[in-house]
C-alpha cells in the first residue's frame, strides 16, 4: 500500500510540474534550427530544464532535448512499466526462443545526456536498461547505449556520427512511451521492423522543399542470427564492432501541413558478416531489404494513424548451411526463415473528454487498432531436417508469427509527459501450422513517463 501511495504522489508531482504546458497531439517534426551563437545566460536556469517538445530528425522528444536546451548540457529520459495478463496458456517453446514474444512484465528506463561542445557540435547519448520476465519461469535483461555527435551546419544539411536508431517505421525512433497508445509497442514494429534497432554509422539529414530527409550508411546485420518467429530481430546489434558489411537507408517525411505527417523509408544491405558456407568455403550471400511507410493525421479530437512494412531476405540457403551446424550442436532443428515478411496496422484515437463537457488540458483517448503481420509471407530455403514428408517444398512444421490483432484500449494523460494505459488484445492465429507463435489474447496495463 505504501508503494502505491508513493507511486501516485510521484505521478501527481510530475503532472503538476507540467500542467502549464498545452497538451496537443504528438508534436510534428520541426525544422532544424540554425545555431544560436550568442552568449547564453545560464545562472538562473534549473538544473533539469523542462522539455520543449522540439524534435530533432531521427530522435524522439526527450532524446532531442539538448538541441533546444538553454544550458550547455541537458538531462532527460523516460520510464515505462508494463504488465501483461494472458487469457490462456502461453507456449513455453516460443517464449524460450525469444522472451520478447511472451513476457508478462517489462520495466524499461532510458536516460539521455547531451552536451553542446560548441553551438554546432552536439554530443548526445542514451543509456537504456530493460528487464522483462515471464512470471517466475524466465527472465532477461538488455542494455542499449546510443552515442552520437551531430554537426549542425544548416537547416538543409547536418550530419550525425555514432551509434543511433535506424529511422525505419515509427516506433524505432519514437520509442518513448507517450508516443504510442498501446501498453506495449505495436507487434509489427517490435518484431518485424524491429524496435530498439541501433547501428553505428554516419547520417546526413535536413529539410529540402518542405520534406525532411535522413540518409546514411551503417553496419550490416548478421543473417546467421535471424530466427524463425522473430525474423531479423535477434540480429540487432547495440554496440561497436568491425563493420564487415554495410547497409544503407533513406527516409523522407513531409509535415508542412498542420496536423499531417506522411513518411516513407527504405533499408538495403549485406548481412554476410564474414560468415562462410561450410560446404563450399565461400562467403555466404545474404542481403536484407525493407520498406516502411506511415501516415499520421489529426482532425480535432480524433487522430488517425496507419503504418505498413514489407521485408525480404535473399540467401536463405547459405544462411541455413551456417545455422545448421550451430543448432545441431544445441540439439535443435535448423530455423526455416521467411524470404518475405509483411505487416501493418491502422489505428483510430478519440479523446472523449471534450464531449463530456470537461474544460481541462487532460486527455482521455479511446482507441482501436487493427494489426496484421506475418514473418513468413514467403518461405525461404527449407533444410532437410525440416522438410515435410508430403512435399519437399513445404516445412513439416513452422514456428511463424502469423497473426491478426484487434486491440481496444484507453489512455489517461493528465499531462503531456504522462500516459496511463490499458488495453485488450484479441489475437487471431492465421497460421496453418500446429506449432507456431500461438500466444493467447491478453489484457495489459502500463505507465509511461518522459522528462
Residue 33 has what DSSP assignment?
P
**pLDDT tens string 171-216:** 999 999 999 999 999 999 999 999 999 999 999 999 999 999 999 9
Q: Is the dihedral of CA 188, 191, 193, 197 positive or negative?
A: positive
Are the CB atoms for 127 and 163 separated by under 8 Å? no
Instruction: Give the separation between CA 344 and CA 341, rounded to whole angstroms.
Output: 11
Task: Give the confidence band of 279 by pLDDT, cuts at 50, 70, 90.
Answer: confident
Query: In the chain, how many domains are there?
Result: 1
- Helix (H), strand (E) at residue 66: helix 65-68
Is pLDDT at 155 greater than 50 in this prediction? yes
| Confidence (pLDDT) at 437 | 62
Instruction: Residue 267: give the domain boundaries.
Output: 2-450
Task: Give the confidence band of 397 by pLDDT, cuts at 50, 70, 90.
Answer: confident
Cell triple for 92: 513455453
- The mean pLDDT of 44-58, rounded to a whole number, is 83
Q: Is the dihedral of CA 247, 221, 94, 443 positive or negative?
A: negative
Is pLDDT at 96 greater than 50 in this prediction? yes
Dihedral over alpha carbons 398, 399, 404, 409 (to 10 degrees): 170
Cell triple for 107: 520495466
| Confidence (pLDDT) at 289 | 98
Largest CA distance in the chain: 77
φ/ψ region of 109 (left if φ > 0, alpha if ψ in -120 to 50, else beta) reads beta
Task: Give the confidence band of 277 by pLDDT, cuts at 50, 70, 90.
Answer: confident
Is pLDDT at 324 greater than 90 in this prediction? no
Cβ neighbours of residue 264 closer than 8 Å, sequence gap 6 or more: 251, 252, 291, 292, 293
Instruction: Give the separation between CA 386 and CA 128, rounded to whole angstroms.
Output: 38
**pLDDT tens string 239-256:** 667 778 899 999 999 999
Q: What pTM, to 2 d.p., does this model score?
A: 0.86
| Confidence (pLDDT) at 64 | 97
Gap between the terminal Cα atoms of the chain: 26
- The mean pLDDT of 320-339, rounded to a whole number, is 87
Q: What angle do CA 192, 196, 199 make, to 5 degrees?
A: 100
**pLDDT tens string 8-36:** 333 333 433 343 333 333 333 344 444 44
| Confidence (pLDDT) at 439 | 80
| Confidence (pLDDT) at 292 | 98
Cell triple for 187: 507487434
| Confidence (pLDDT) at 7 | 42
Is pLDDT at 335 greater than 50 in this prediction? yes
Task: Give the confidence band of 342 by pLDDT, cuts at 50, 70, 90.
Answer: very high
| Confidence (pLDDT) at 42 | 56
Instruction: Give the separation between CA 376 and CA 386, rounded to whole angstroms.
Output: 15
| Confidence (pLDDT) at 276 | 83
DSSP-assigned letters across all residues of 369-384: EEEEEEEEEEE----G
| Confidence (pLDDT) at 24 | 37
Using DSSP bridges, classify how beta strands 73-86 and 442-450 pair: parallel, antiparallel or unpaired.
antiparallel
Query: How far is the CA of 152 from the CAs of 162, 168, 183, 353, in angstroms?
Result: 15, 22, 35, 41
CATH number at 276 reads 2.40.160.10
Q: How far is CA 415 from the centre of its chain?
A: 23
Percent with pLDDT over 90 in the chain: 63
Average pLDDT taken over every residue of the chain: 87
Amino acid at each position: 500500500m505504501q508503494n502505491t501511495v508513493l507511486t501516485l504522489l510521484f505521478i501527481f508531482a510530475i503532472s503538476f510540474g507540467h500542467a502549464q504546458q498545452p497538451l496537443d497531439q504528438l508534436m510534428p517534426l520541426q525544422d532544424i534550427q540554425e545555431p544560436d551563437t550568442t552568449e547564453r545566460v545560464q545562472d538562473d536556469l534549473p538544473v533539469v530544464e523542462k522539455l520543449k517538445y522540439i524534435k530533432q530528425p531521427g530522435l524522439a522528444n526527450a532524446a532531442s532535448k539538448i538541441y533546444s536546451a538553454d544550458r550547455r548540457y541537458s538531462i532527460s529520459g523516460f520510464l515505462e512499466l508494463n504488465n501483461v495478463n494472458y487469457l490462456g496458456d502461453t507456449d513455453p517453446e516460443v517464449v524460450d526462443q525469444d522472451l520478447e514474444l511472451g513476457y508478462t512484465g517489462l520495466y524499461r528506463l532510458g536516460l539521455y545526456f547531451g552536451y553542446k561542445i560548441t553551438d554546432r557540435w552536439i554530443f548526445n547519448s542514451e543509456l537504456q536498461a530493460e528487464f522483462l520476465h515471464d512470471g517466475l519461469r524466465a527472465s532477461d535483461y538488455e542494455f542499449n547505449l546510443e552515442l552520437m555527435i551531430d554537426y549542425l551546419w544548416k537547416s538543409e544539411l547536418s550530419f550525425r556520427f555514432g551509434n543511433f536508431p535506424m529511422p525505419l517505421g515509427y516506433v524505432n525512433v519514437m520509442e518513448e512511451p507517450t508516443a504510442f497508445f498501446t501498453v506495449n509497442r505495436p507487434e509489427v514494429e517490435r518484431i518485424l521492423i524491429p524496435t530498439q534497432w541501433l547501428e553505428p554509422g554516419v547520417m546526413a539529414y535536413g529539410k529540402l522543399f518542405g520534406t525532411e530527409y535522413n540518409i546514411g550508411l551503417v553496419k550490416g546485420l548478421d543473417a546467421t542470427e535471424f530466427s524463425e518467429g522473430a525474423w531479423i530481430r535477434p540480429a540487432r546489434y547495440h554496440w561497436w564492432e568491425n563493420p564487415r558489411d554495410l547497409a544503407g537507408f533513406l527516409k523522407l517525411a513531409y509535415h508542412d501541413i498542420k496536423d499531417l505527417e506522411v513518411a516513407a523509408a527504405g533499408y538495403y544491405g549485406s548481412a554476410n558478416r564474414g560468415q562462410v558456407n561450410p560446404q563450399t568455403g565461400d562467403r555466404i550471400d545474404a542481403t536484407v531489404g525493407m520498406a516502411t511507410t506511415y501516415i499520421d493525421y489529426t482532425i480535432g479530437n480524433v487522430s488517425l494513424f496507419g503504418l505498413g512494412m514489407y521485408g525480404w531476405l535473399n540467401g536463405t540457403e547459405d544462411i541455413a548451411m551456417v545455422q545448421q551446424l550451430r543448432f545441431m550442436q544445441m540439439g535443435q532443428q535448423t530455423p526455416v526463415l521467411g524470404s518475405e515478411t509483411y505487416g501493418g496496422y491502422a489505428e483510430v484515437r478519440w479523446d472523449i473528454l471534450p464531449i463530456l463537457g470537461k474544460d481541462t488540458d487532460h486527455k482521455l483517448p479511446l482507441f482501436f487498432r487493427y494489426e496484421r503481420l506475418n514473418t513468413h509471407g514467403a518461405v525461404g530455403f527449407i533444410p532437410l531436417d525440416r522438410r515435410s514428408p508430403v512435399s519437399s517444398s513445404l516445412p513439416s512444421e513452422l514456428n511463424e508469427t502469423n497473426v491478426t490483432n484487434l486491440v481496444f484500449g484507453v489512455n489517461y494523460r493528465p499531462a503531456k509527459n504522462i500516459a496511463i494505459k490499458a488495453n485488450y488484445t484479441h489475437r487471431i492465429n492465421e497460421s496453418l501450422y500446429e506449432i507456431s507463435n500461438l500466444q493467447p489474447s491478453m489484457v495489459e496495463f502500463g505507465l509511461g513517463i518522459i522528462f
